[in-house]
Structure 1
Amino acid sequence: MVTLFLANVLLGLSIALPVGTVTVEMTKQGLKNGFMHGWIVGLGGMTVNLLLIILLYSGLATFLSTPIIQMVMWLVGALFLLYIGYDSIKNADHDISRPGEKVKKSFTSSYLSGLLVAISPSNLIFWLSIFGTVLTNSLETSSSFQFLIVGIGILSGILIHDLGLMTIVAGTRRIFNTLYIKRVSVAAGFVLIGFSIYFLYQFIENMKVYF
């Protein structure tokens, strides 16, 4: 069981390393408001991952994998990321707190940001394809308890990645001035809008199948 857990911790860590929408938002919030706010963005993203594990366990992966549902997810994800990216650029110089200053942004707001960027097609489809295969095979070839170990191991790997990333960001934040943090927020906004445009393109491509 220990070997199974550690193997899936490494799996969770390895898939969390590539830069995605949640990582971009975590880094932005970490630079603007410190370790806890960045990490809570990550917790918002992990909440979506946990819900997907529950859905996979409940046998709803097939429903979520249907073309029409995925098409809806592309559109919803595009709209969410477009809004968050625009807001990141528009308010790049807002809610920036320096080390030792009182943070104006609420933890709830940071958590919801993580939740929204995680509800993106790339994240959902990735989980349903890659993790869905791993978790489903685990459920079919072993007990429910082993499925639980696999799920916890994957989430633990993602958590280790998030804590490590935020530790680096929090340390870096001390040497960056407000102007640099503002520029990072603007850059993050454009990256998120870039993801949004890609998702919209995928939505249009999926629409062509039906029309």
Structure 2
Amino acid sequence: MPKLDPTQAAIQFVNKNFPDCQGALLAGSVVRGQATETSDLDIVVFDDMLPSSYRESLKEFDWPIEVFAHNSTSYKDFFKSDVERARPSMPRMVSEGIIIKDEGVIGPIKTEAKELLEQGPAPWSEKTIELKRYFLTDALDDFIGCKNRAEGIFIANTLAEGVSEFVLRTNRQWQGSSKWVIRSLKDYDEDFADKFVEAFDEFYRYGEKDKVVVLVDEVLKPFGGRLFEGFSLGR
């Protein structure tokens, strides 16, 4: 017997587990059309009977389900935290989510989430840019000089994370982790994202470093290029 449609499963889950909640949303990959065989249901619940927010993973109706439960004010702390770290997981879920229950609370929260997403993260300070340039330069130097394949893989990982963060944050774009690294880059600049993947893929497949080195230098160039000599921290 096939498992329930995601929306129907979410509705039944909320009716069973949060019958008195004021609102609920179905979010995540099933809503964005990016679901895979291992995708779960992300369900955001707003229930004023809850003293505080919590997250829980479980399985019901043949679906793995992640519940993000909040009351009418506790979600704001998560919005604030996500904005400060420039990874808007909760605002994105609320903005994209399909309404599966609403007693008049979802509209204002969705509006709040969309406004936060449209504003983008706060700009990096010149000091932060300098610090990130230095650490990218340090990792790049290690990468160029590395002769150990195993070590090189992990230095490349550090570079990939640092380059994606630098590009997105210096352009006031939201960043992400895991699969959201490349999704965030594609949202910002699909051509750059393709170039980014090609450079690191060539290293991981064949051990070729040139495209990674060129990519990092191109990213740093508008901000003064590599930074080592003269950098000081805490002096």
Q: What is the TM-score of this pair, normalised by structure 1?
A: 0.32
Higher strand share: 2
Structure number with larger C-alpha Rg: 2
Quick one: higher RCO (CA 8 Å, sep 6+), 1 or 2? 1
Q: What is the TM-score of this pair, normalised by structure 2?
A: 0.30
